[in-house]
Amino acid sequence: MQIDYLNSAKQQFLYYKMLGDKTIAQLSDDQLFWQYNDASNTMAVMVKHLWGNMLSRWTDFLTTDGEKDFRNRDAEFESDIKDRTELLAKWEEGWACLFTALDSINEENFSTIIYIRNQGHSIPEAVNRQMMHYAYHVGQMVYLGRMMKGDHWQSLSIPKGDSKAFNAEKFAQEKGKRHFTDEYLK
């Protein structure tokens, strides 16, 4: 069960990363730094916040508190990323840290208590906490990207009006255990 859980969690994280990747790829450089108003975040700020959170939570995941001394959460919301190259470097660094940490979990250390701000979590609780946090922000990124692109947005899931055909294709297949993200992560 532990290995099934970890494999499923990795697939889910890969899926959310893919949604972010495909959103960022659709946007112009100007759109990555567009801000609706002073109280809202740019796409670049959301990436910076995710990067900071990922480095803090996943560095030395099994042995140190997830809120690291090096983290400056408030600075994550300052708009100082200079260009797409820097944005993508932070995006990739954060995800690499996460996947390295997930790869370090095994049967022997699965019962380790993970601390985040001195609150103990089982590994599934800590992983789920971060997965939901990242899904929340990646969802914001997708929504913001969709608004900016309007009619030029390329759907990241089942396009509007295609549900019937999509379902017909799925029900035409044999029943079997597979992860729903497999078709998106090809």
In order along its 186 residues, the chain shows pLDDT tens digits of: 688 999 999 999 999 999 999 999 999 999 999 999 999 999 999 999 999 999 999 999 999 999 999 999 999 999 999 999 999 999 999 999 999 999 999 999 999 999 999 999 999 999 999 999 999 999 999 999 999 999 999 999 888 888 998 888 889 889 888 777 777 776
Within the chain, strands assigned E span: 114-116, 119-121
The tally of domains found in the chain comes to 1
With CA atoms as reference, report the closest residue to 101 among 148, 165, 57.
Answer: 57
61 secondary structure, DSSP code? T
With CA atoms as reference, report the closest residue to 113 among 59, 53, 64, 57.
Answer: 64
Torsion angle (degrees, nearest 10) of CA 55, 59, 62, 65:
-70
Please state, in angstroms and as integers, the Cα–Cα distance from residue 69 to each residue in 61, 73, 89, 185, following that order. Answer: 14, 10, 22, 35
CB atoms closer than 10 angstroms to residue 34: 15
* pTM score over 0.75: yes
Q: pLDDT at position 1, please?
A: 65
Give the CATH number for residue 12. 1.20.120.450
The residue behind tokens 């916040």 is 49
Q: pLDDT at position 167, please?
A: 86
144: helix, coil or strand? Answer: helix
**Residue 153 in contact with residue 160, Cβ under 8 Å?**
no
Helices 123-149, 43-58: crossing angle, 10 deg rounding: 170
Segments forming the whole domain that contains residue 22 = 2-183
Q: pLDDT at position 42, please?
A: 97
Q: pLDDT at position 6, please?
A: 95
Q: Which amino acid is at 50?
A: L
Q: pLDDT at position 113, please?
A: 98
Beta pairing, strands 114-116 & 119-121: antiparallel
With CA atoms as reference, report the closest residue to 23 among 170, 140, 182.
Answer: 140
